[in-house]
Every structure is written in structure tokens, then in C-alpha cells.
Amino acid sequence: MYKAGILGTGYYVPEKIITNFDLEKIVDTSDEWIKTRTGIEQRRQAAKDEYTSDMGVKAAEKAIKNANLKKEDIDLIITATITGDYPWPSTATIIANKLDLSDIPAFDISAACSGFIYGLKLADSLIKSGDFKHILLVASEKLSSITDYTDRNTCVLLGDGAGAVIIGRSEESEILSTVIHSDGSKLELLYQPGGGCVNPASEETVKNKLHYLKMNGADIFKLAVEKMPEVLEKALKLANIPAEKIDFVIFHQANIRIINNIAKRFGWPDEKNIVNIQKYGNTSAATIPIALAEAIEQGKIKKGKLIAFSTFGAGLTWAGAVIKL
């Protein structure tokens, strides 16, 4: 068995910034409400002709470069997204094509906000088994394409962006544990009702706004504060690392109150808690790899550090992981 680690990271966020003040002009909300209830001050929005695959490619190119690899070294692409370029085929194959890579396998994972850690678990196993050498895991979301900008309950939360990592054989860096869970009985707490075979696109589904993301925020909040620490505890135990040994934690960036509440419970001070929700909002699968890549780029997180991840999202799905960078 080989050891698998993260060899390189990259991220990309679109240029256009939507501030809370911009949203005040289109829905009944306020900068004060959004900041105090969520921690978000602004989010990015992709251009009309800038797609999930384009953002993914930009993040991927940076990750490949940071890993000191050539794109031809990549032998598998996994994309975590709920806002693929098309319902099918996968966005991973589109990313492969845009990177000028043909023949290599490429597929998507649909695990919403947990997609990155689901992908990490899969990539870890595929590297350990010896089947692949360099896996590109891209989490990319154009949530603005499924956001109802008349619904103040959701439109203030969501943003666009992409994060990518290269996972490969390594002696220094190591994925120490990954834990993934799901509960399909509560899917209606967070989902897109239209566009699948239950409600295929029709005049009716468009009129009833079924192609937008729908969320019961309060119920999701309650479950997130229960499941995220639970899965984090499991990931720490599996990695055999006590919480106090963790150098940095990166939570899914959905709400600052969830993030700070859990960090406090584990005894992690602000310096260990990597937060960028104020700048990018909730980018679903992309929040964790964007925060990781950005913190590395800023020189905050260095090689050899122990990092814990925890997330919760649609499915429902939740996941945790511990890595040594």
C-alpha cells in the first residue's frame, strides 16, 4: 500500500463581487442582518459565460503547478459539484477536455457540500491501492445559476468559486482519515426540486421556480451543529490525533455561527480556525478546498501541519477528515 497525500492546491473565484449592500437593493434584507446571522459580507458571481468547468480548470491549473507536475501527469479527474455545466454528462470530462487531456477517466461526485471530502476519501483509496498516481480533485460551483434572487432566505448565502487539489503518492503529506455519512430521509430540507426525472423541466416547473435551490435553513442549522462535531470526533479518533494537536481546522463555510460554535467546543482558538466566509459566502463543495488553497497561498498554512475538515450539506450528507499537509 502506498501513502496518499495532497501534493498541490489551487483556487479560483470570479471577479465580480456582490456585496450585502447590493443585495439590499433587490431583496428585503440588510447588511447588518446578513453579517450578524451568517458572517457573510460579500460573495463572488461568475460571468454569464463563465461556467463551473471554467472555474474548475483555473483552480486545477494552479493546483497542478503548485504540485510541480505537468497536466499530462494527471491520470484521473474527479469533480465534486451540484451545478455541473449540464445535467449530464459529467463536468469532469469537460474539465479534462479544457485541460487538453483525453483518454484519462473523469467523473463527477454528487454529494453537495460534502463532495470535496467524499472525493478525498475516494482519491485516498485509489492512490493507496496503486491504481492511480496523480488524481485531480476539483470542487467547483456556479451556485448563482440555481439561486432565486427574490428569495432572501437563500440568495444572501450563496457564491461561486472553485478549489482543486492533486492527490498522489507521498511520504511527507498524508490523508490520515476520512469519514463520510448520509441520510436521504431529509432530502427536502435542502434540494433542487426541478430538472430531474421527478419534475422534468416544463412551463409549470419554471413558473413554480422549481429549478432553484430550496432550503429550510433553521432545520439544516440544527442538524449541522449536531453532525459536524460528531463526524469530526470520528475523524480525529480514526487518525489517532487529539484535538489539541490539530494546527488548523477548516469547516464548510456556511454560517459563522456554526463554525465558531464548533471550533469553541473543540477548544480551537481563532488562529487555528481558517475562515473566509465573509469574502465568498457558501460555495457548497468548494468552500473547504478554496479556504485550504487560499490559506496556503497566504503563507498561513505550511507543509507538515495537521489540518481537520468538517462539513454538512444536502443529501443530507456530512463528512470529516484529518490530513497532514
Per CB under 6 A, 152 contacts ligand UT7:
yes
Question: Least distance (Å) from ligand UT7 to the CB of residue 282?
Answer: 5
Q: Which residue is nearest to ligand UT7 (CB)?
A: 217
Dihedral pair phi/psi, residue 314, rounded to 5°: -60, 150
Closest residue by Cα to residue 130 from 79, 76, 80: 76
Q: Quick one: 210 or 254, whose CB is closer to ligand UT7? A: 254
87 cis-preceded (ω within 30 degrees of 0)? no
Q: Does 218 interact with ligand UT7 (rule: CB under 6 A)?
A: yes
Cα 204–chain centre separation: 32
Q: Interface with ligand UT7 by CB under 6 A: which range of 137-145, 216-224, 265-273, 294-302?
A: 216-224
For cell 450539506, what's the residue? 313
Lateral strand order in the sheet of 134-142: 4-12, 160-169, 134-142, 76-80, 106-109
For residue 223, the minimal CB distance to ligand UT7 (Å) is 8
d(Cα 124, Cα 249) in Å, to the nearest integer? 20
Stretch that binds ligand UT7, among 116-124, 164-172, 203-211, 212-220 (CB under 6 A): 212-220
In angstroms, what is the minimal distance from the CB of 149 to ligand UT7?
12
Q: How far is the CB of 40 from ligand UT7 (least distance, A)?
A: 9
What whole-number distance in Å separates Cα of residue 83 and Cα of residue 94? 13
CB atoms within 10 A of CB 93: 21
Alpha-carbon gap, residue 110 to 312, rounded angstroms: 13
CA–CA distance, 286 with 187 (Å, rounded to integer):
20
Task: Supply the residues annotated as catalytic.
Answer: 113, 252, 282
By beta-carbon proximity to ligand UT7, the closer residue of 75 and 151 is 151
Dihedral class, residue 182 (left if φ above 0, else alpha if ψ from -120 to 50, else beta): beta
By CB under 6 A, tell whether 191 contacts ligand UT7.
no
Query: Contact with ligand UT7 (CB under 6 A): which of 224, 235, 322, 325?
Result: 224
- Cell numbers found for residue 200: 422534468
Nearest one of 317, 301, 42, 82 to 185, comparing CA atoms: 317
User: Among residues 156 and 319, whose Cβ is nearest to ligand UT7?
Assistant: 156
Q: Which of residues 236-265 bind ligand UT7 (CB under 6 A)?
A: 254-255, 258
The C-alpha angle 126, 130, 135, rounded to 5 degrees, equals 45
Comparison of 67 and 120: residue with beta carbon closer to ligand UT7: 120
In 3D space, the residue among 260, 267, 241 whose CA is nearest the CA of residue 323 turns out to be 241
Q: Does 276 bind ligand UT7 (CB under 6 A)?
A: no
**Residues 168, 135 contacting (CB under 8 angstroms):** yes
The residue range among 10-18, 26-34, 115-123, 133-141 that interacts with ligand UT7, by the rule CB under 6 A, is 26-34
What is the nearest approach in angstroms of ligand UT7 to the Cβ of residue 312? 6
Of the candidates 76, 220, 274, 321, which one interacts with ligand UT7 according to CB under 6 A? 220
Nearest to 41, CA basis, from 52, 50, 51, 29: 29
> Restricting to residues 281-320, which ones interact with ligand UT7 according to CB under 6 A?
282, 312-313
Q: Which is nearer to ligand UT7, 106 or 314 (CB)?
A: 314
3-state secondary structure of 231: helix
Nearer of residues 60 and 220 to ligand UT7, judged by Cβ:
220
33 binds ligand UT7 (CB under 6 A): yes
Residue closer to ligand UT7 (CB basis): 74 or 111:
111
- Contacts to ligand UT7 by CB under 6 A: 29, 33-34, 37-38, 113, 152-153, 156, 217-218, 220-221, 224, 254-255, 258, 282, 312-313
